A and B are shown apart, each in its own frame.
Chain A
Amino acid sequence: MAACGDAAMISPPPPAPKGIIRARGVSKRFGDRMAVDGLDLDVPAGCCFGLLGPNGAGKTTTLRMLYGVTRPTSGRIEVFGLDVATHSRTVRARLGVTLQESVLIEALTPVENLMVFGRYHLMRDAELRPRIDELIDFLQLGSHRDVPVRNLSGGFKRRLAVALSLVARPQLLILDEPTTGLDPAVRLALWTKVRELRDHGTTVLVTTHYMDEAERLCDRVAIMAAGAVLVEGEPRELISRLLARDTVEIEASEQEAAQLLSGYEESTNRMQAGNRAVVHLEDAAALVSHIRGRDSVADRRLIVRPTNLEDVFLHLTGMTLEASA
């Protein structure tokens, strides 16, 4: 937490209402396709909230409706307690958005890009200049502050894009797939910054299709598919509510797996994926000894691991799914 002292200035904790975002029955139709279909969403103030889902789930469309650029076909959205349909300008003045695609002006330097963005927010020079220095510091852009953007690396550009959305000290930061296409170290560094912002009171709404990142780094997540939220909650809580703490992957066909598991008492949640049975349960050790005890194949591969959001997602969107007791 080296930047802690001035990080307080990066995002002043605002007197925020309880829920920052509240969406009810929101739908968006494009032609005959429903991009978003009856979505409900509540994002509490001060948390880092992950909106998860595969490509085409409707994440970007949802975000665009939240900041009032796409109009919902039906439903109601409130941000900061304001109806977005009628107060989109006010809402946008108080939030920052980092889009999925790069929006940087390639011919300009990071500092110039930040200047342009400050102008969009009608900020004055006297206010803007120190703010830019602050952000350059916070997102560690100092080494290339005067180099044209086109010569910068992907990770650097992404940090700059995040800096742009922070220019006007937003209370809510919306990030659309901020880590897609970045290498793991850069991704982690970016997440560290996001957490730091959250620690200082900014609410963060982030979309991603990296479930593992979301699980470790988001306070709450909502899993989306086909334009609707399937489940919402804290990652660990979702996992134990919908599946179970542990997962055992057994190299076995469906019949073999059924045999190996027969007579096992504890309730399990089982799924077959090709030549692999995936079993979710509270106590993996007991199952492993149960299998080893009755298995004819001595060196069968068993993988024991914690259950993750990826499993929850597969469970919800229903691959060949089968709950056995």
Chain B
Amino acid sequence: MEKISINIIDFDGERYSIKTDVDLNSNLMDILKEEGFSMGHCGGMALCASCHCYVEHNKELPTMSIEEESMLDQLNNLNQTESRLICQIPCTPELDGITIKLVRN
């Protein structure tokens, strides 16, 4: 199976990289949850914002749905250019090398 690498910047600013399978049925929230980060309370329905992260837009990302925009609208730590709910980003090959910065929500 094709693999992609994801760079993570954790809460302490520590940078590391993980490799994961390309899988359209799984999203970046699923991957980070498996990594042990507490997120995904709503199961990936853009309803809880527990998966809000800053994503470096050096990669082609899926456009935001109205549900995602409306959830992000409510956040106080919104970063207009980098904030995403990563449960809305499926693990496609295009993400290879993407950088995700964790945010305390």
Question: Do A and B belong to a common assembly?
Answer: no
B contacts, CB < 8 Å to A: none
A contacts, CB < 8 Å to B: none
